[in-house]
Amino acid sequence: MARRYDASEIEPRWQRAWAAEGLFRAVDDPADARPRFYALDMFPYPSGDLHMGHAEAFSGGDAVARYQAMRGHNVLHPIGWDAFGLPAENAAIKRGVEPEEWTYANIEQQAASFDRMGMSFDWSRRLNTCDPDYYRWTQWLFLRLFDKGLAYRKESPVNWCPTDATVLANEQVIQGACERCGTMVERRELTQWFFKITDYAQRLLDDAESLVDWPERVLTMQRNWIGRSEGAEVTFTIAETGEEITVFTTRPDTLWGATFFVFAAEHPAVRRLAELAGTWDRVEPLVRTAAQTSLVDREAADTREGVFLGVHAVNPVNGEQIPCYAAPYVLMGYGTGAIMAVPAHDQRDFEFARQHGVAVRVVIQPEGETLDGDTMTEAYAGEGVIVHSGPFDGRSTPDSIDEVIAWLEAEKRGRGAINFRLRDWLISRQRYWGAPIPIVHCPACGEVAVPDDQLPVVLPDDVDFTPGGDSPLAHHPSWKHVTCPSCGGEAVRDTDTMDTFVDSSWYFFRYCSPGYEDGPFRSEDVNRWMPVGQYTGGVEHAILHLLYSRFVTKVLFDLGMVSFTEPFPRLMNQGQVIFDGAAMSKSKGNIVEPMPLVERWGADTMRLTMLFAGPFEDDIDWKLIAGAPDKRPGVHAWLGRVFAAVGDAIARGDVAEPEALVRLTHRTIRGVTEDMDRFRFNTAISKLMVLTNEMRGGLDTGAGAFGAARALVAMLAPLAPFAAEELWRTDLGEAASVHRASWPTFDPALTVEERVTLVVQVNGKVRDKVSVAADVSEEDVIAAARASAGAQRALEGREPVKVIARPPKLVNFVVED
RNA sequence: GCCGGGAUGGCGGAACUGGCAGACGCGCGGGACUCAAAAUCCCGUGAGCUUCGGCUCGUGCGGGUUCGACCCCCGCUCCCGGCACCA
């Protein structure tokens, strides 16, 4: 009687057993001699139940954790929830549910689903970022940045929805409109808290070089986001007032080609200069429009509009006076907010010059060509020979850039400079459901840190969520009124909360010291477990979360709290689960949920479906890989065959196995091990399927397969943990879990084939295949090839002019025709 | 526009370092079992031609290097992702 596979009976039973045994607890005893492995999955946001993306990501992450445990590691595989954030507040506004209630209900549902899936989490380390025990330390982290001058307040433009009367995050502005009410977003200047991540720009860039195990695209995105540019700062003088204005340029070699000068519309000097020159009437509308245009619209605009200010700038390299304009195409947030414009060699400046009738002066020409500024149709940004540039005439560029910078420094007209596109991290949110910023504003003392021993600053639970323009905390009748920790006078709390990316920038440290009450974590715990052995999650966090986490790690390193500067040396991004080429969405009505699949066919089938569909980092199109919901998935049928084959093998007992099966088993162990090390779950599963098929072939002839069965079950464990455990403990009779068994090993001698297929080619075309001994000599292999029927037929009696022999795999006869 | 990644049967995908293209699975066709169906098992399955021995073509397109190219080089096309006035 063949062993039957019944997931619905097996899975809940082992799920309970694992929990009762505490099987997945990480061992914190320093005396434990096993090497440690921190398997980290990006923690979920609790909006509803788990979705397909979670199912895919955690299937991979859990396979890694289980595999590493079987490889002899003491594995830390924690879970938690990124539980602060706007959706909870929106649920409160829309449906009248308390954010806290909504959040915790979703967390419980997701936790139950994870359990049902059999995720090997160490539940004892579970955390939620919205728990006061957690956000106490988020606030503590803020204060350490505040102490170091890395957290500061300044006025900054933000997205403002006039209907909801509230500030929106960039992600909440959809094509210039509020995502909730559709009103066009405006721009407002508000005083906001920032983290000074720009101080770490160079280190974030330099250390990225060490992240060789990150996906290339993620590293590229980070580098582009940081955006380092080398160039020079050059100081121009306003002819009419004598005031000095510095610009940044990456092309100091084109300084002699500057024919006008442009200020960002918001530049503080614009109004003063325009009023002085009597042009404010004409300039003012432009400035006002720029100030009101949302940041999103502003970046999407591509006009070359601008207004002459009526003043002139003196070019320090040649004393020339050039007209000054204000134009929105120059950004206040980058460089100095003012530029020298070189229309001949910058396309944007060129378009502006043509539209406003400004001269175009060529100072760089391609070798052997002459460009004419009056007739050229686009800027020339290439290499070439320098002309009309005083001491640099006749030199070539870009080689001369460094010499121009040296000359500027010697002449005291400018200096070499580096600029980054990276901006400081705006962390203020005028929102309720976040960690309150632990600052008290005192009329006498200014910004005062809440003392560490008064943390956490707890969120009140009786607030009005109706959008009102600033944080709901500001409207609470009593919460914000406190005494100043410094002078004892009357003061008010800061009523903003922190960006949820602050919460998620340090959660992986907290997992190392769960429940620790004297700090966010114990350094010795963190330094034992970290850096993370493998970080798994979605590519949507390629920039923000990963950049912020790297930044916070470097700050903690500088504080002497951790001994490393990069938290995640190995990163893997799973692909998205899509449907019919598009993201699953409610409006499309094409959402497929993982839990019904788990209930119908079992968690193991859900995992195998995800992992077998293709490379882990590729997208999965559910429409293409899944049949009808009630149609039995192929991987489920395979598990059925595994049960039957293992059952039969056990019934026959540990008797002699065909040598071919023994060799295949060893080759399979080698191959699957390599695949697991490289996240190649799809090919690992395929190799296990081949082994299953071969076992069944042997069993048909009455031979044994016990060793193959044991290896198969062990290798199945990270991929289909319930089925493997059932076979291991119930059928094979092992007392201890397969998930704490040793990963099978192979004998290299047995992975080598005894006989191999020799490919016989004539002129590179396959003409025959012959079985030969693996250690065949060159002469013998050529003789065997030549004797083959296919070679005889194709050679037609001709003598090869050349014979290429690669024993034992290939012989190629080259003949002339 | 710039940057990154792709394109292989009807479908998802394999192919180590340049050496059997299409592993494994889905789907489909045929068969066994069955009163029947489901389940299960077996056989076949890139295209065309075939005297059934084989032959020709075939990894987005066009060239090249090589005894030999899905793989390397040059030139394109299309698709996906990211950034997008960053001076």
Nucleotide nearest A686, from its CA to each C1' = B24
Query: A420 burial class (0-12, 13-18, 19+ CB within 10 angstroms)?
Result: middle
Q: What is the pLDDT of residue A758?
A: 87
- pTM exceeds cut of 0.95: no
According to DSSP, the residues that pair with A802 across neighbouring strands are A814
A810 strand B contact, CB < 7 Å: yes
Beta strand segments in A584-715, E? 620-621
Nucleotide nearest A305, from its CA to each C1' = B85
A618 strand B contact, CB < 7 Å: yes
Residues 178-207 of chain A within 7 A of strand B, judged by CB, are none
A289 strand B contact, CB < 7 Å: no
- Separation between Cα atoms, residue A619 and residue A91, nearest integer Å: 31
- Separation between Cα atoms, residue A649 and residue A713, nearest integer Å: 12
- Identify which of A793, A633, A706 has the alpha carbon closest to the alpha carbon of residue A5: A633
- Separation between Cα atoms, residue A446 and residue A541, nearest integer Å: 36
Element (H, E) at A780: helix A778-787
- Per residue in A1-49, pLDDT tens? 578 899 999 999 999 999 999 999 999 988 999 999 999 999 999 988 9
- Beta-carbon count within 10 A of A502 CB: 27
* Arithmetic mean of pLDDT, A655-676: 93
Q: What is the pLDDT of residue A284?
A: 93
With H, G, I as helix, E, B as strand and everything else as coil, classify residue A245.
Answer: strand
A220 strand B contact, CB < 7 Å: yes
pLDDT at A185 over 80: no
Nucleotide nearest A228, from its CA to each C1' = B86
A249 strand B contact, CB < 7 Å: yes
- Per residue in A710-745, pLDDT tens? 999 999 999 999 999 999 999 999 999 999 999 999
Distance A662 CA to B19 C1' (A): 27
DSSP A213: B
pLDDT at A467 over 80: no
- Per residue in A244-277, pLDDT tens? 999 999 999 999 999 999 999 989 999 999 999 9
Query: In the structure, what pLDDT confidence band is assigned to residue A173 with cuts at 50, 70 and 90?
Result: low
* Arithmetic mean of pLDDT, A513-536: 96
Q: What is the pLDDT of residue A300?
A: 45
Q: What is the pLDDT of residue A468?
A: 62
- Beta-carbon count within 10 A of A464 CB: 12
Nucleotide nearest A420, from its CA to each C1' = B86
DSSP A170: G
A585 strand B contact, CB < 7 Å: no
Distance A424 CA to B64 C1' (A): 51
Task: Report CA torsion sign: A653, A658, A660, A666.
Answer: positive
- Beta-carbon count within 10 A of A651 CB: 13
Distance A402 CA to B2 C1' (A): 25
HSE-up of residue A161 (Cα within 13 Å, Cβ side): 22
pLDDT at A666 over 80: yes
Do A239 and A319 contact (CB within 8 A), yes or no? no
Q: What angle do CA A727, A729, A731 make, to 5 degrees?
A: 50
* Arithmetic mean of pLDDT, A104-120: 97
Omega within 30 of 0 (cis) for the link into A531: yes
| Residue whose CA is minimally distant from B10 C1' | A624
Q: What angle do CA A292, A89, A104 make, to 5 degrees?
A: 155
Strand A439-442 and strand A414-420: the pairing is unpaired
Radius of gyration of chain A (CA): 34
A325 strand B contact, CB < 7 Å: no
pLDDT at A295 over 60: no
Distance A523 CA to B50 C1' (A): 76
In chain A, % of residues over pLDDT 90? 64
Q: Could you give the residue ranges of the DSSP H alpha helices within A260-415?
A: 268-277, 280-292, 295-300, 347-356, 401-410
- Separation between Cα atoms, residue A20 and residue A22, nearest integer Å: 6
Q: Which residues contact A361 (CB under 8 A, 6 or more apart)?
A: A256, A257, A259, A343, A344, A373, A388
- Beta-carbon count within 10 A of A433 CB: 27
Pick the range with the lowest mean pLDDT from A122-131, A440-449, A579-588: A579-588
Nucleotide nearest A804, from its CA to each C1' = B67
Query: In the structure, what pLDDT confidence band is assigned to residue A294 with cuts at 50, 70 and 90?
Result: low
Query: In the structure, what pLDDT confidence band is assigned to residue A703 with cuts at 50, 70 and 90?
Result: confident
Distance A626 CA to B26 C1' (A): 8
Which nucleotides on chain B have any atom < 7 A from a protein Cβ? 3-5, 11-15, 19-21, 23-27, 39-42, 54-56, 67-69, 81-87
A621 strand B contact, CB < 7 Å: yes
pLDDT at A815 over 80: yes
Distance A294 CA to B50 C1' (A): 72
A638 strand B contact, CB < 7 Å: yes
Q: What is the pLDDT of residue A175?
A: 61
Cα distances from A546 to residues A229, A421, A437, A569, in angstroms, run 22, 17, 22, 11
pLDDT at A297 over 60: no
